[in-house]
């Protein structure tokens, strides 16, 4: 649910990074946080366990500038990827405007990726959304690892609707901003239809 405040001339959009455990959702946010001008970002909040596994969510507010005289503010969230945190993932999808699916390129994580997309589809439906209708971007993360599958294989298994797809190495930032930009573009274009 995009929140457009005409009085304050602000648009607030919510983008959720989804994906299996340890695929690099938090790393994406961390990189965006590190590389964003301090005036344009808020605090990065991580509700994580002592071993740095996301427990509830990470949250990063970003002010990107103005579009048509409106300040655009993106709220980036990650979900906890581990299977047993499903109840938390559902909560975070509430009111989502766009989803980035971060897939782990390692061969051993193929099943986990497929399972996580299925889980995303199911949880979106429960909130009244269709994955085919909402802004959605796919990211193949960890391209730097020697065990990374060829992107063609991954695309065949994970592509849903011909969504924009990016190769990334979130630890060094490769593809991170391209992914964010692609989902932001779709979310803002969605406003046209309103």
Partner 1 sequence: MSAPDLVLYEEEFQKIKEALQRLRLDANANVVFLVDKNGQQIAAIGDLASLDTTSLASLTAGNVAATDGLARLIGEKEFSILFHEGEKDNIHISIVAQRVILVVIFDERSSLGLVRLRVRRATAELDKIFEEITQKVEREKDSLQVDFESPFSEITDDDIDRLFSE
Q: Minimal CA–CA distance to 115: which of 23, 5, 27, 1?
A: 23
- Binder to partner 1 among 14, 25, 89, 142 (CB under 8 A)? 14
Q: Is 96 helix (H, G, I), strand (E, B) or coil?
A: coil
Restricting to residues 88-117, name those near partner 1 by CB under 8 A: 88, 91-92, 94-95
Answer for which of 114, 151, 173, 177 binds partner 1 (CB under 8 A) is 177
DSSP string, 154-176: HHHHH-SSS--EEE-BTTTTBTH
One residue of 56, 85, 136, 166 binding partner 1 per CB under 8 A: 56
**Beta strands at 3-5 and 10-18: parallel, antiparallel or unpaired:** antiparallel
Window contacting partner 1 (CB under 8 A); options: 18-26, 54-62, 106-114, 136-144 = 54-62
Shortest distance in whole angstroms from residue 26 CB to partner 1: 16
146 makes contact with partner 1 (CB under 8 A) = no
Size of the site for partner 1 (CB under 8 A): 45
CA distances for 117 relative to 33, 71, 113, 141, angstroms: 26, 32, 6, 15
Q: Is 51 in the site for partner 1 (CB under 8 A)?
A: no
Q: Quote the least distance from Cβ 27 to partner 1, whole Å.
A: 20
E-strand stretches of the chain: 3-5, 10-18, 45-48, 54-67, 70-78, 98-104, 136-141, 165-167
**Following CA atoms 145, 149, 151, 155 in sequence, which dihedral angle do they give, to the nearest 10 degrees?**
-130
Interface contacts to partner 1, rule CB under 8 A: 1-7, 12, 14, 37, 40, 42-43, 45, 47, 56-57, 59, 61, 64-65, 67-70, 72, 75, 87-88, 91-92, 94-95, 127-129, 177, 181, 184-185, 188-189, 191-192, 194
């Amino acid at each position: 649910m995009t929140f457009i405040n005409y009085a304050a001339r602000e648009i607030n959009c919510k983008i959720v990074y989804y994906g299996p455990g340890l695929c690099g959702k938090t790393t994406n946010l961390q990189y965006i946080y590190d590389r964003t001008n301090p005036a344009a970002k808020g605090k990065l909040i991580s509700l994580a366990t002592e071993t740095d596994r996301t427990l509830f969510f990470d949250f990063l507010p970003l002010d990107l500038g103005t579009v048509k005289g409106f300040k655009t503010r993106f709220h980036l969230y990650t979900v906890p990827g581990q299977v047993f945190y499903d109840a938390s993932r559902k909560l975070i999808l509430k009111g989502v405007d766009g989803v980035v699916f971060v897939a782990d390129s390692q061969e051993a994580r193929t099943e986990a990726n497929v399972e996580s997309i299925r889980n995303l589809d199911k949880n979106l439906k429960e909130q009244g959304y269709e994955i085919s209708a909402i802004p959605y971007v796919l990211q193949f993360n960890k391209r730097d690892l020697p065990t990374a599958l060829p992107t063609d294989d991954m695309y065949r298994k994970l592509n849903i609707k011909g969504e924009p797809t990016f190769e990334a190495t979130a630890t060094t930032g490769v593809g991170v901003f391209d992914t964010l930009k692609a989902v932001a573009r779709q979310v803002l274009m969605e406003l046209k239809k309103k």
